Structure 1
Amino acid sequence: MDNIAGTKSSLTWAVNISVVVLVVLWLIPTIGLLVSSFRDRDQISVSAWWQAPLPVEQAYRLRAEGDIIRSGDLWVIEGNVFSASEMAEAFPEGTDHPPISAFGTTGRDPGAYAAGEEVPNRDGGTLVINEDGSYVFTTNEDPSERPPRLYVMAETPPEFTTANYDTVLGGDGMGQAFINTLTVTIPATVIPILIAAFAAYALAWMDFPGRGLLIAAVVGLLVVPLQLALVPLLSLHQQIGIGQSFVGIWLAHTGFGLPLAIYLLRNYMVGLPRDIIESAKVDGATDFQIFTKIILPLSFPALASFAIFQFLWTWNDLLVAKVFLPSSDESWVMTVRIADDLLGSRGGDWGILAAAAFVSIAVPLLVFFSMQRYLVRGLLAGSVK
């Protein structure tokens, strides 16, 4: 009875569970990115995002800044690690100090010894650091000119901050980068839509020699990697005089986006009622009038669908922007500014990267949710006759 039209399938529960599982799987990375964007850089490096509410055991390096006493042939330094300037940043005065869990004499193994254990150091003396942070360091050399290094392990309370967002939003040139991104994205979305709409109408409703070959060529171009065309296209731009410029990146995004745009719009236009177009021709309408007065209004879902894809692609693009825009920072878009300026050459500051990701997706999310009702209708173009 499940195959009878109008009856509800008994596997509806399986579909619902599958949808919930897929949604959760998509949300987990986003939640992790959001949590990481509010975490301290040091805590991100030692614990996962789902451990953010828990204390984090971190290694600290500090100078022994205690009182120096001469005892026979030895120099003795007594003090407390929480009084050191390096520890004061993590544990300000007046806050509860966590117990020291371990300590070490080298940065390679900062937790080699348990707190309270007396161990030899590299200078022929001894070192002991207790749980409360007090320590006694003995050495054969005068430590007044160069205090020795100490390494301790302590649990740091969870810390959440908006400093990552302050760094991203307050970075030099970020406002100009936002304007540059809009300058690149808007024309690079509008230009291919205008060209593809005319081409799709011709391939869908106009008879001319070679139309089938052109459609096959468009489908073939969908599978060509854009990386293959970057260097030849840049060389062509240099030859015709546009080089690395906003015009060059507009044309590059237009060329890379046209195959999908023509394919999507042509499939949608082919599925429009033939009677409407034939009636318009009988009434004396030209192809241009049919295109502007009938085809374009009816094809708005497909146009909006491609606009979403193209806008998201150009807004989040880094590779094409690095190739076709000038190298000066005045022309940087947001992705280039984040990658080259905020993250640096190593790109290890995950907190800034997570915050930058959420800042950069604000506009694409606004575009997506404002036009999402057209997305499915456009993607299903031509699937049902």
Structure 2
Amino acid sequence: MSALALLRHLAVAALVALWLLPTAGLLVTALRDPGQITGAGWWSAPFPATVTVFRRLAPTTPARADGDAWLHEGQLLGPDETLLAWGLSARDPAALAPGAEIATRAGDLRVAANGRYVLRSPQPEAAPGLRVFLRLRVPPRFTFENFARVIGAEGMGRAFLNSLMVTVPATVLPILVAGFAAYALAFMRFAGRALIVAGVVALLVVPLHLTLIPLLRLHNAIGLGKGFLGVWLAHTGFGLPLAVHLLRNAMLALPREIVDCARLDGASELRIFFRIVLPLSFPALAAFATFQFLWVWNDLLVALVFLGAGPDQQVLTGALREMMGARGGEWGLLAAAAFVAMALPLAVFFGLQRSLVRGLLTGAVKGG
């Protein structure tokens, strides 16, 4: 292998690693126990973690007399937890070593290395509300609790279905319309064809932000308002220029003799389109479908304008935005929500990546 080829392979491997590492970190964070996420980074998930927690004294046996005092006993550790240090203040949760004893407002407290505590109190009733901070070493824990909460209680399941209801029609509709338009511009001769092609290319550079308000006013004027039909038509209109341009270039790359022979044999234009041109243009169709699906799935602005932000209309990106405001410190929930949002686009991308590359290269040499 030459040095240039080796350098190329190393560069590709580095790019793949840079892309995969954040994705893997997101998945690992979503699967980790919430108490272990803030203690260490996701790369330490397979190893025991050091965490700081607080627990309230809860005697497990009745108080027993010891001279003029009462002994309250209980357990502070859970299964597979190891006590490293403990304390009574959040400012210094590791002030005392296991086995140490300290005077509290409720009496003298001692916590053993196995988590067993003894509170020597002058009262036969345990002191309510007394907290003990523990520095623990715990084994790695993984759970699907974050995903269950996100899909159920946090409403991401409904938002996922809304995104699917928006994305699938908004991907299929522009392909259907653009396919017919691209075929006409590639194989039919009529007046003004060059102007239409120039107009399609010009529409590729028009910022969609300039069209949002006029298009919404048009929807309101004709009675569409905000709803799924409105957002489907909006995404279809925004995606049509790229679809027509990409499919036309792909069809121009096909041998024109195939279409001419089919016409000589008496095939209609629709038959030629569906039986010959469309199957041969599948890579370009898959390339545009991938781009359109990813763009619509990750869209927030168009969905807010043409669909709304209510609980029944909210898409995944909107739900993520609200969750970041309401659950900003719960990294496990945020990671699970983000992975739910990106799981389907990842599947689509990996499933169509070969067709995506072929579709982008189709028509790169021949065009007109």
Q: TM-score, normalised by structure 1?
A: 0.74
> Hey, what's the Cα distance between the residues in 2 that align with 1:53 and 1:26?
21
Q: Which residue is 1:266 aligned to? A: 248
Structure 2 CA distance for partners of 1:161 and 1:271, relative to 1, 3 Å: same
Q: Which residue is 1:5 aligned to? A: none
In the TM superposition, residue 343 of structure 1 has moved relative to its aligned partner by 6.5
List aligned pairs for 1:308-319, cutoff 5 A.
Answer: 308-319=290-301
**1:110–1:152 CA contact under 8 A, matched in 2:** no
**1:58–1:156 CA contact under 8 A, matched in 2:** yes
Q: Which residue is 1:377 aligned to? A: 358
Structure 2 CA distance for partners of 1:144 and 1:195, relative to 1, 3 Å: same
> Hey, what's the Cα distance between the residues in 2 that align with 1:110 and 1:234?
58
> Hey, what's the Cα distance between the residues in 2 that align with 1:337 and 1:68?
54
Structure 2 CA distance for partners of 1:39 and 1:260, relative to 1, 3 Å: same
> Hey, what's the Cα distance between the residues in 2 that align with 1:382 and 1:357?
36
- Aligned to 2:231, which of 246, 249, 273? 249
- Unaligned 5+ segments in structure 2 are none
Q: Which residue is 1:100 aligned to? A: 84
With 242-251 and 152-161 compared, the bigger mean Cα shift is at: 152-161
In the TM superposition, residue 164 of structure 1 has moved relative to its aligned partner by 2.2
In the TM superposition, residue 221 of structure 1 has moved relative to its aligned partner by 3.6
In the TM superposition, residue 38 of structure 1 has moved relative to its aligned partner by 1.5
Determine whether 1:354 maps to 2:335: yes
**1:308–1:371 CA contact under 8 A, matched in 2:** yes
**2:85–2:96 CA contact under 8 A, matched in 1:** yes
- Unaligned 5+ segments in structure 1 are 1-7
> Hey, what's the Cα distance between the residues in 2 that align with 1:126 and 1:229?
72
Structure 2 CA distance for partners of 1:292 and 1:65, relative to 1, 3 Å: closer
**1:100–1:130 CA contact under 8 A, matched in 2:** no
**1:78–1:134 CA contact under 8 A, matched in 2:** no
Structure 2 CA distance for partners of 1:77 and 1:245, relative to 1, 3 Å: farther
In the TM superposition, residue 17 of structure 1 has moved relative to its aligned partner by 2.8
**2:284–2:360 CA contact under 8 A, matched in 1:** yes
Q: Which residue is 2:44 aligned to? A: 51
Determine whether 1:183 maps to 2:194: no
Letter in 2 for 1:264: L
Determine whether 1:42 maps to 2:24: no
Aligned residues: 362
- Identity %, equivalent residues: 50
List aligned pairs for 1:15-164, cutoff 5 A.
Answer: 15-64=8-57, 83=75, 87=76, 91-92=77-78, 95-105=79-89, 107=90, 109-111=91-93, 113-115=95-97, 133=115, 147-164=129-146
> Hey, what's the Cα distance between the residues in 2 that align with 1:301 and 1:14?
30
Structure 2 CA distance for partners of 1:219 and 1:136, relative to 1, 3 Å: farther
Q: Which residue is 1:3 aligned to? A: none
Structure 2 CA distance for partners of 1:284 and 1:110, relative to 1, 3 Å: same
State the secondary structure of the residue aligned to 2:326. Answer: coil
**1:343–1:352 CA contact under 8 A, matched in 2:** no
> Hey, what's the Cα distance between the residues in 1 that align with 2:174 and 2:294?
14
State the secondary structure of the residue aligned to 2:230. Answer: helix
**2:146–2:332 CA contact under 8 A, matched in 1:** yes
**2:327–2:334 CA contact under 8 A, matched in 1:** no
In the TM superposition, residue 195 of structure 1 has moved relative to its aligned partner by 1.5
In the TM superposition, residue 148 of structure 1 has moved relative to its aligned partner by 4.2
Letter in 1 for 2:360: L
Structure 2 CA distance for partners of 1:309 and 1:99, relative to 1, 3 Å: same
In the TM superposition, residue 248 of structure 1 has moved relative to its aligned partner by 0.8
Determine whether 1:330 maps to 2:312: yes
State the secondary structure of the residue aligned to 1:307. Answer: helix
With 21-30 and 248-257 compared, the bigger mean Cα shift is at: 21-30
> Hey, what's the Cα distance between the residues in 2 that align with 1:377 and 1:313?
20
State the secondary structure of the residue aligned to 2:32. Answer: coil
Determine whether 1:167 maps to 2:160: no
Output the aligned Cα RMSD. 4.2
> Hey, what's the Cα distance between the residues in 1 that align with 2:256 and 2:133?
79
**2:83–2:136 CA contact under 8 A, matched in 1:** yes
In the TM superposition, residue 51 of structure 1 has moved relative to its aligned partner by 0.6
Letter in 2 for 1:98: T
Structure 2 CA distance for partners of 1:180 and 1:98, relative to 1, 3 Å: same
Structure 2 CA distance for partners of 1:21 and 1:174, relative to 1, 3 Å: closer
Letter in 2 for 1:37: A
**1:79–1:134 CA contact under 8 A, matched in 2:** no
Structure 2 CA distance for partners of 1:55 and 1:276, relative to 1, 3 Å: same
In the TM superposition, residue 61 of structure 1 has moved relative to its aligned partner by 2.6
> Hey, what's the Cα distance between the residues in 2 that align with 1:260 and 1:311?
13
> Hey, what's the Cα distance between the residues in 1 that align with 2:209 and 2:162?
23
In the TM superposition, residue 99 of structure 1 has moved relative to its aligned partner by 2.1
Determine whether 1:298 maps to 2:291: no
